[in-house]
Amino acid sequence: MDIKSSKAYRLITAITAKVLFFLFLVVNGQAFSQSYGEIGIFGGGSYYLGDLNPGEQFMLTQPAFGGFVRHNFNERLAIKGSLSLAMIEGDDAVSGYNPDRNLNFKSNITDISAQFEFNLFEYFIGSLKHYFTPYMFAGAGVALYNPKSLSHDVELRPLGTEGQNLPQYSDRKYGKATFNIPFGIGFKYSINDRMGLSLHWAMHKTFTDYLDDVSTTYYLNGSIYDPDSQVPIEVIVSDPTLKHEPNMQRGNSDNNDWFSMAGLSVSIKINYGGHKKCLNTFL
């Protein structure tokens, strides 16, 4: 596994270096005659990948929406700043990955990010010739999250479901924010002189394994509780089946969680001034 990860890392690094070099050539080789801004809104869906859903795309997709501003340096390169609000969910009963564990969660996501975009074809809003293009993007952001039990609608972080409130498990504590790296692909289309559409699919690699409040091992011995008695809520949400012993595996701490957003954006062109109408009409 380590060898494969190392090869993948070297491959990603090499591809990234080549892409950055290519973008440098594009920026330095093109005139900035089509520099303009955009403001827009986004609507679509969001989902999560992690301990409760290791690999199925678009499982339990929830609503997502947001707004953004974009600066187009030229016909190929742009930078976008966005604020997105989304919901993610995970459920062992739905994924079937670990039904004996029977864990579930939901969380609101507030993501603030900046992304560089590269158009594969020349493109700008209002052009009769360069009016569509596939594109790819990558950037950096900060995501706020707060996992709750899907079954009981209680916040999970304060309950310390993996012993975070105990001194011996203090290294398992997590906050309400994580850095993330968004990247993905999309398609842009110019509707008219002032308005553009785009479709995109973005993956967000986070730096936490606790989007779902699941990462390491159990710390409670659920079997000491009588299922017919009043079981504390921290026990119920930590081990709903009451079948696990302390230090049994609850999650996989080797892999951090991901979230994804996909959908449709509508934007309005904002001219900065200095562009002749004929350029926007006939190019």
Same domain, 4 and 89: no
According to DSSP H, which parts of 30-74 are helical?
A: none
Work out whether strand 104-119 and strand 195-206 pair parallel, antiparallel, or are unpaired.
Answer: unpaired
Reported as type and span, the H/E element at residue 282 is helix 277-282
According to DSSP H, which parts of 30-161 are helical?
A: 92-95
Predicted model pTM? 0.83
Q: Is the pLDDT of residue 5 over 60?
A: no
At residue 230, the pLDDT reads: 73
Of residues 184 and 283, more confidently modeled = 184
Q: How many domains does the chain have?
A: 2
At residue 276, the pLDDT reads: 46
pLDDT in tens, 19-44: 555 555 555 544 445 689 999 999 99
The CATH number of the domain where 115 resides is what?
2.40.160.20
**Residue 22 covered by a domain:** yes
Encoding tokens for residue 267? 């934007």
- Residue 6, domain extent: 1-30
Same domain, 135 and 5: no
Same domain, 82 and 205: yes
At residue 226, the pLDDT reads: 58
What integer is the mean pLDDT of 8-12? 53
- The set of residues, in sequence order, having a beta carbon less than 8 Å from that of 9 and lying 6+ positions away, is none
Same domain, 63 and 14: no
pLDDT in tens, 80-117: 999 999 999 999 999 998 888 999 999 999 999 999 99
Same domain, 170 and 183: yes
Same domain, 16 and 140: no
Reported as type and span, the H/E element at residue 124 is none
Same domain, 3 and 19: yes
The CA-atom distances, in angstroms, between 105 and each of 48, 87, 101, 153 are 11, 11, 13, 9
Same domain, 146 and 264: yes
**Residue 124 covered by a domain:** yes
Q: Is the pLDDT of residue 207 over 90?
A: yes
How distant is the alpha carbon of residue 97 from its chain centre?
22
Q: Is the pLDDT of residue 211 over 70?
A: yes
**Residue 122 covered by a domain:** yes
Angle (CA) 233 177 156, round 5°? 5
Reported as type and span, the H/E element at residue 72 is strand 62-72
Same domain, 10 and 116: no
Q: Whole-number mean pLDDT of the chain?
A: 87
pLDDT in tens, 157-202: 999 999 999 999 999 999 999 999 999 999 999 999 999 999 999 9
**Residue 194 covered by a domain:** yes
User: How far, in Å, CA of 133 to CA of 18, rounded?
Assistant: 21
Same domain, 157 and 114: yes
**Residue 227 covered by a domain:** no
Same domain, 38 and 125: yes
High-pLDDT (> 90) share of the chain, %: 72
The CA-atom distances, in angstroms, between 283 and each of 126, 128, 133, 206 are 9, 6, 15, 41
High-pLDDT (> 70) share of the chain, %: 81
Same domain, 25 and 49: no
pLDDT in tens, 215-266: 999 998 766 665 566 778 889 999 998 889 999 999 999 999 999 999 999 9
